[in-house]
């Protein structure tokens, strides 16, 4: 499908910037939005502007290295995060970063959102990981977010905010809105006595259906028919657990999934986990 014209993309950028503010997904100068103008140019919101009041002259054109090509003002340092997403996946046309308050509260409280609770969310987003804390505007944060987008369309950054990607600004914005809506429902359910998760087999069935019907990260779509689809083992263990802990995690083990889902540092499979546990016991006994 051909890309919309620059005029149309600018109008969309303004509309969705205003919506992020009006829907209480950010305040003050928070957040930033961007959209691909061509294969190597990006339209993005200027540094230090209010998203609820964004005007056309606060939109900057940058290249894929982050250098300004035209427009007033400067692109924000957080644009490195957006570029890391675009570079990792050709199918990403838009990136929306905001500070949805309920989602952020989950990360501050150390409560995981990576749980399969609402069918619609499992269909469209799968599980929502929270990335480990990194200083805002740094390359390490950009790398972390870019890497996470290989298998996700929406992630939370610890104590900071959400990054959502999509095939258009509308698509990315919908994911952001869904994340905050989900966080509110999860918070209220906890207040009403606790979260009842979907059974693990139902979560997998939904996720597999969702990847085929609505798409997602290409690497995740390729896993649609694999056991567990693209859902992390830890999420499945969690979904199958009838006794979630306060942190939203199944049985307490040697690592905390309350906040971190940097799976590179976690055992990837059940057998690996068993090996790790056996090793830890053996070390303890010697």
SS3 assignment, position 40: coil
Shortest Å, Cβ 202 to Zn ion: 35
Shortest Å, Cβ 176 to Zn ion: 12
Phi then psi dihedrals of residue 68, to 5 deg: -70, 135
Nearer to Zn ion, 161 or 216 (CB): 161
Shortest Å, Cβ 27 to Zn ion: 11
Run of H or E including 43: strand 41-45
Query: Residue 134 corresponds to which tokens in the numbers above?
Result: 């990194």
Nearer to Zn ion, 161 or 267 (CB): 161
Shortest Å, Cβ 59 to Zn ion: 18
Contacts of 93 (CB under 8 A, 6+ apart): 3, 35, 36, 166, 167, 168, 171
Beta bridge partners of 63: 41
Please identify the residue of the shown chain whose CB is closest to the bound Zn ion. 161
Rounded to whole angstroms, the Cα distance separating 123 from 231 reads 11
Shortest Å, Cβ 166 to Zn ion: 18
- String marking each residue 161-190 x if it binds Zn ion according to CB under 5 A: x-----------------------------
Nearer to Zn ion, 113 or 238 (CB): 113
Shortest Å, Cβ 28 to Zn ion: 11
Rounded to whole angstroms, the Cα distance separating 43 from 154 reads 20
Count the residues of the shown chain that bind Zn ion, applying the rule CB under 5 A: 1
Question: Per CB under 5 A, which of residues 101..140 are in contact with Zn ion?
Answer: none
> With contact defined as beta carbons under 8 Å apart, do 259 and 107 qualify?
yes
> With contact defined as beta carbons under 8 Å apart, do 161 and 97 qualify?
yes
78 catalytic residue (yes or no): yes
Nearer to Zn ion, 80 or 249 (CB): 80
Distances (CA, A) of 215 to 41, 53, 124: 25, 33, 8
Nearer to Zn ion, 160 or 207 (CB): 160
Rounded to whole angstroms, the Cα distance separating 112 from 118 reads 15
* Neighbour count for residue 234 (Cβ, 10 Å): 24
> With contact defined as beta carbons under 8 Å apart, do 153 and 235 qualify?
no
Nearer to Zn ion, 132 or 263 (CB): 132
Catalytic residue among 6, 22, 78, 202: 78
Contacts of 224 (CB under 8 A, 6+ apart): 207, 208, 211, 212, 230
Residue 158 C-alpha from the chain's centroid = 11
- String marking each residue 146-165 x if it binds Zn ion according to CB under 5 A: ---------------x----
Looking at the annotation, which residues are catalytic?
A: 78
Applying CB under 5 A, the residues found at the interface with Zn ion are 161
């Amino acid at each position: 499908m051909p890309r919309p014209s620059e005029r149309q993309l600018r109008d969309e950028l303004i509309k969705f910037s205003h919506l992020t503010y009006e829907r209480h997904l950010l305040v003050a100068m928070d957040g930033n939005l961007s959209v691909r103008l061509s294969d190597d140019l990006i339209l993005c919101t200027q540094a230090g502007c209010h998203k609820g009041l964004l005007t056309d002259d606060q939109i900057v054109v940058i290249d894929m290295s982050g250098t300004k090509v035209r427009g007033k003002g400067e692109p924000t340092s957080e644009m490195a995060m957006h570029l890391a997403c675009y570079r990792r996946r050709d199918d990403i046309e838009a990136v929306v970063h905001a500070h949805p308050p309920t989602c952020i509260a989950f990360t501050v409280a150390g409560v995981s959102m990576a749980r399969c609770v609402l069918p619609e969310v499992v269909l469209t987003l799968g599980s929502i990981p929270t990335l480990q804390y990194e200083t805002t505007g740094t390359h390490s944060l950009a790398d972390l977010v870019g890497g996470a987008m290989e298998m996700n369309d929406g992630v939370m950054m610890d104590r900071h905010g959400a990054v959502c990607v999509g095939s258009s600004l509308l698509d990315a914005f919908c994911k952001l809105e869904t994340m905050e809506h989900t966080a509110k429902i999860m918070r209220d359910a906890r207040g009403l006595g606790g979260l009842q998760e979907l059974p693990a087999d139902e979560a997998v069935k939904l996720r597999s259906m969702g990847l085929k019907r609505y798409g997602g990260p290409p690497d995740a779509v390729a896993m649609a028919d694999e056991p567990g689809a693209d859902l992390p083992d830890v999420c499945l263990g969690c979904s199958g657990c009838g006794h979630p802990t306060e942190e939203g995690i199944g049985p307490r083990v040697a690592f905390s999934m309350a906040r971190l889902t940097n799976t590179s540092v976690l055992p990837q499979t059940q057998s690996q986990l068993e090996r790790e546990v056996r090793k830890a016991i053996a070390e303890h006994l010697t």
